[in-house]
Structure 1
């Protein structure tokens, strides 16, 4: 989210959905594909983090959303606190005196820790005005209700840096949790959300066994309290019919607010109306639109939903088999999201010279019967993946994002192995490395490999 900067590591949706993990076991390919995905459709010159793609959403009309804002418990209590405060002296930090906090909690029936959150929101949204003499009544609820709501949620998320939920781990991963909820529109059970957060903390924060044991005992209770707070803030709602199902999802106002923050961060979070027409394109038209930047990455999800997994895979593979490395790079990210139902079409791709290695990897990571890949096959895949750079606008900038291309013996061996690779883009990839890689040693090795290829 924009205020906490944590959406670079959204809780793994594959884990939450019980599907497969990364596409390839080869570390080099994983990192290269990750970097290529990060640049897909990103036009900013100083992109400082991952550009994530989220499923398209359908928002309620603005007037209906605006009518919901005053009904949010947090907003209702912020307005009550502002009316209660009237004209009052404050601490040097511009906060209510502790006695006033306690009195407000008693008079309004609000927990003291929530009074502090309400005070921050009341001041920042202008419902309470701070003067040299203390607090004074501010403006009422503004006409720009959704703009007001956006400010409320930014204030709430800012508090994640200062013990919003009372759990350091939940606060640390709050933005990831909200982004995950946004991507899973049907909602998720709290235990599944806790499991995803545990994995994110273990991997992203390097938590050790002892910390994880303690966290597994404590997190379910902490997360339940956090969910209750986020319901109070108008972001979460329970669902499941009779209310006994321990599952939550974003409210309509929550979807609107989280999307606003994702857009501020530069992520791809389109409206359904913006991408619905891409579902009618052929596979070839879709991929060309994505390569040109006309279609965001999220358009692929809408396109796939209109087809069975097998039919979608078959159409995509046909384009990839006769296309460029750029086509295969985009298509590969779409195929990653397809489950075992696409197996028949992917298995047919084993007969395609330009796709069989990719198909073997796809099958293998899903524990399906697949041909074994040799070292030479892995080099071919590395060349094919690097060749996606040939279809990006700023090659130098994109190349710098490939952590796996950092200088070292492993990269030098790969460059040397590329000289013997029969990939049609081998020469172009080596020339790219020779011209753009910042390490002189890598550039020199690439130039030598270029001469070997040309001598053939």
Structure 2
């Protein structure tokens, strides 16, 4: 019996699947009746839903079932697609468990009984979650949302919804269809805005929120303008605008350029599109970059597309070049780089849409200045997302036919982002194949000032939460210190752009207000690091001295001594091991660096730092001692750190 299918490339595949499906489920029904007494065929029916999902939405391999398959089916697909009460998830979960047990028992399941046991245990563990997901309206698809929305009949009485169908008892198909008709009539009678609210929530469910621990500092206007000056997209649109002239140029009825103008435009704009042999080009829309430039220009109001003419937008030429670059980059991210492409195959359309939707996810990690990523790592991540979203491609026998083009399209995508000056790509290798097409490999990707200006609203819409600092000039001290401590802001930016009209004493007072009250060691360390960058210890002295009565007293005392503003003997009583604990706690995720920092400090210390540390009352002390016990290469010191960690726990317990 054939158990693996390839619906992507085989036109007759579905017919063979349906034959196998019926045969397999008939056999399963007989087996389940004997095994469970499933006379009504409920388990076989639920297993059939899973089999249909495997073929239509999964990998089409009926002999392969994983925990991921079970989770995707029960926690994502069923809540979105299956119009049934929440507790129907119990039966659907039983169907999955029944299917894998049956397939193992009949020698058909890859991995045999061990895999069946693993999947069945997992299904049992997530059944309660599946019930909750089935009742979560935020997961409903359109049809299911319509069935769950509270609606009234024409006489004002409430109509049965998805969750009250059981109250109707046994209903015939005709009665069920009548309930469905009444609900559709009632839904269509709702005001447009109310109908749109229901359908939009199903089509565009709210993304899961992901908090990010950095402060995004908006770049300066000068940095954005300098970046826009390098934008190939701006240059191309400017060339298009100049070509259109004052009266515009004719276009076809579909908005494409006239074929007689195409060669001139490709050359004038420098799009790099490869023109086919004369007479082979059917429409200018077959040229991806030329079409993209025109589409983005229209979306940004650089041009207006009329019925038979394209003309320059009324306000475009009067806009500053930096604003034009911002609007074009914003339009590109809003539309997607592949929005106007001819896909070639129906399957590539949703796949390229997925890649376009992924751009905020690929780029959000580049928002902090100075960050970079290996381009191949980003592309590997994107390919894996495609495999997860389209498992029939990722696991089918023809998978290599698809992952290669996906990688090529991703390189094209990042090339378009570079063309718009949203990213910089360094060290990428390229090779021209025998067919004249270019292949890319490797490279490092970095975000630009323009990207940092344009991307934040797209990142927020994609589900990312992070603090923003749009106006550096008037930001408060805590935001400035946090931005500096997390690397979102360089000291030079703070010195040159933050409260430039304030006196040095006023600026240092704003910074020292942070360590006076914070419990965050990173902010304490960051504040004093920033004071060093401002470089005016005399102006800072009054505010720093006030910190001698706060948890930041050790930092303050060492700062005063380092700058000759206090004698060591005068502030010695304020100095504790806390400063070292603060610095070490910031390296808990980098144990080798933490061990190296401690070793350097210990070599120059007069006493036993580890012994001193266990009596230090600070929340981070225990984590630091435990980490040192694992990371220190000196076995004697590592053992001492582990002993001190135990002593610290006992000391804390006795103090309570």
TM-score by length of 1: 0.48
Radius of gyration: which is bigger?
A: 2
Q: Which has the higher contact order (CA 8 A, sep 6+)?
A: 1
